[in-house]
A and B are shown apart, each in its own frame.
Chain A
């Protein structure tokens, strides 16, 4: 992991919103390094700030929000020096410094593209699918109309639209929900972005369609080599897509590591709680573990560990002082006082011991539900 190239590096990002007379701190000093070609999943509940955080990468915060601290360096792909032919590091741009829409040209949509939850928010209902893809291609590449159309049809068949050429002139309403999301992905990928942000892209879709869309994104990533940030609240989806995972709570990343780190060796009480409350792990007739209360109000200043008020096993210090990140392994970091040497020993809850074993018992070997005949 360590020798991997960083494509995007966010440092101490803080985002505030002004809502009427109050200020809401949506993101509190979050740092994140994104490695080239990986899929980083951000998991959190609504209001945890997962969407807001990634919106800062494309300058798409609502008009009453601002980044009040920190930097977001975007490096992108390394360039080849024309004289020596050597790989040269890109000096990078600080995305926080970009203000006007004009500054964002060439980055938003071109280098960093986003796929949103509801495909209809990204598609214009009264224009044909084809013309919408062509428009994006023409905007970012200087090619003829004919070439753009060819590229668009090519892109459409790549994202799995059958008879792409015939469906080029159809309108969004003639497409099903899953097909629309494929089109949104086609538009996002038509300028060969380096980072693709997927903001709950399958939440509105049926599970079988969701499986297809996730597979599509994965296949395209292998083929085109972009880096993916995947935002979701569904731990199943995280397990399916993520190389690395960041768990967000109350406007902060509280734990991050590889998917295996997070699922099989979680350290933060919030991650424990999230995993323990999964109905998949429930035993019939017994109560599921559940988290009481509600997430903290971001209007107030949060003292200490933001999860402490809902954590039955919180330490006293959690209410007084914010924990730093403790390193668990080379890849794994968690922001909890439990990792402090002075803290009492606390094992993760019984339910999430041997997570893999428990799931496999339910799904059969390899998750095939014992069905492997076809």
Chain B
């Protein structure tokens, strides 16, 4: 994909990536097909889709849990997908970290918080001596708003929000450049979500991080993301700057997703119906589609025929916003 902002440095490049799984016999299920996008250093890139859309699969392909069946992933210009050397593998682990969805499931319940946070330090021996390690753990806890005295406790003694912050501290202690956050707030209570989002933003600024933020809720993503990619049944259908996606949504699936999220506003909600997107209505004989740039930095999955309709819609939206 051509970069619109040439002065920006690409940190992660996903090039025509397919991820397929065996489903008994010779059959393969393509969870992600032809994912193709760049993530720039310092931005928050959101990948939004419903369950089964392949968003988590793609995130895990980046961190080498799921192998790519086609295409390649570059990190700082170096290929990190497929067979790579042990040194490179360790390099990926040090620089790309993950925050998980369910803070109750992603911490080892039989280990103290100190061990949970130190795990990465142990594996890469990132400390001079034991004193240094403990100092680092204390600092990491402090960074996420927890107290050093917490480190001798076990995960189940914490609330959901606190646990999620432990998960964040565990990733941050590796001093990564890139963080994959897989639905980091959807398992949390509403009142805790804001705190975790704030924390993620604060750490991003302080440590100059880049986020791949995986989510299912577009309205939450708008607050945190710089750019948003909408993924549907393994295909990325639209990529745009976050404000643009809300102002000029062109792909029918994006529109259906936007309209489906209930807004905390009774006047609006009582009077609107969600717009249903039905992929089956697509003509199977339609010309092949690809990602096309419809506005600067705004890409949509379309063929010539679609483009006519999308451009018409875009024109309308632009005139609407010009008012």
Please list the residues of chain A having a beta carbon within 8 angstroms of any beta carbon in chain B. 45-46, 206-208, 210-212, 214-215, 233-240, 242, 259-260, 263, 273-275, 277-284, 287-292, 294, 355-356, 359-360, 362-364, 366-371, 373-374
Task: For B274, give the chain A residue with the smallest CB separation.
Answer: A211
Given contacts A274-B190, A279-B224, contact A239 B269 (CB under 8 A): yes
> How near does chain B come to A37, taking the closest CB pair, in angstroms?
16
The distance in angstroms between the C-alpha atoms of A238 and B270, with both chains bound, is 10
In terms of DSSP, what is the predominant structure of the interface of chain A?
Answer: helix
The distance in angstroms between the C-alpha atoms of A287 and B256, with both chains bound, is 29
Does the CB pair A369–B246 fall under 8 Å?
Answer: yes
The distance in angstroms between the C-alpha atoms of A240 and B260, with both chains bound, is 11
> How near does chain B come to A260, taking the closest CB pair, in angstroms?
6
Q: Which residues of A contact B264 (CB under 8 A)?
A: 235-236, 238-239, 263, 275, 278, 280-281, 355, 359
Does the CB pair A366–B268 fall under 8 Å?
Answer: yes
Binds A, one of B29-37, B147-155, B175-183, B214-222: B214-222
Does the CB pair A239–B273 fall under 8 Å?
Answer: no
Does the CB pair B198–A208 fall under 8 Å?
Answer: no
Does the CB pair B268–A359 fall under 8 Å?
Answer: yes
> How near does chain A come to B179, taking the closest CB pair, in angstroms?
18
A-B pairs with CB below 8 Å: how many? 171
Q: Which residues of A contact B189 (CB under 8 A)?
A: 45-46, 233
Does the CB pair B265–A359 fall under 8 Å?
Answer: yes
> How near does chain B come to A50, taking the closest CB pair, in angstroms?
12
Does the CB pair B190–A235 fall under 8 Å?
Answer: yes
The distance in angstroms between the C-alpha atoms of A366 and B259, with both chains bound, is 10
Tell me whether B262 is interfacial, beta carbon within 8 Å. yes
Does the CB pair B50–A208 fall under 8 Å?
Answer: yes
Tell me whether B69 is interfacial, beta carbon within 8 Å. no
Does the CB pair B262–A240 fall under 8 Å?
Answer: yes
Please list the residues of chain B having a beta carbon within 8 angstroms of any beta carbon in chain A. 50-51, 159-162, 189-195, 197-198, 201-202, 216-217, 219-220, 222-224, 242, 246-247, 249, 255-277, 313, 316-317, 320-321
> How near does chain A come to B103, taking the closest CB pair, in angstroms?
13
Given contacts A263-B265, A366-B272, contact A287 B320 (CB under 8 A): no
The residue among B224, B246, B270 with the most chain A CB atoms within 10 A of its own CB is: B270
Q: Which residues of A contact B192 (CB under 8 A)?
A: 290-291
- A sample of 16 more A-B contacts (CB under 8 A), given A236-B264, A236-B269, A292-B195, is A45-B189, A234-B190, A234-B262, A239-B268, A240-B262, A240-B269, A273-B191, A279-B222, A279-B223, A282-B194, A282-B224, A290-B198, A360-B265, A366-B271, A366-B272, A367-B265
Does the CB pair B272–A207 fall under 8 Å?
Answer: no
Q: Which residues of B contact A277 (CB under 8 A)?
A: 190-191, 193-195
> How near does chain A come to B191, taking the closest CB pair, in angstroms?
4
Q: Which residues of B contact A260 (CB under 8 A)?
A: 266-267
Q: Which residues of A contact B268 (CB under 8 A)?
A: 239, 356, 359-360, 363, 366-367
Q: Which residues of B contact A206 (CB under 8 A)?
A: 50-51, 216
The residue among A207, A260, A281, A290 with the most chain B CB atoms within 10 A of its own CB is: A207
Question: 9 smallest A-B Cβ distances: which pairs?
Answer: A236-B262, A282-B223, A211-B274, A277-B194, A290-B194, A367-B268, A288-B194, A290-B195, A206-B50
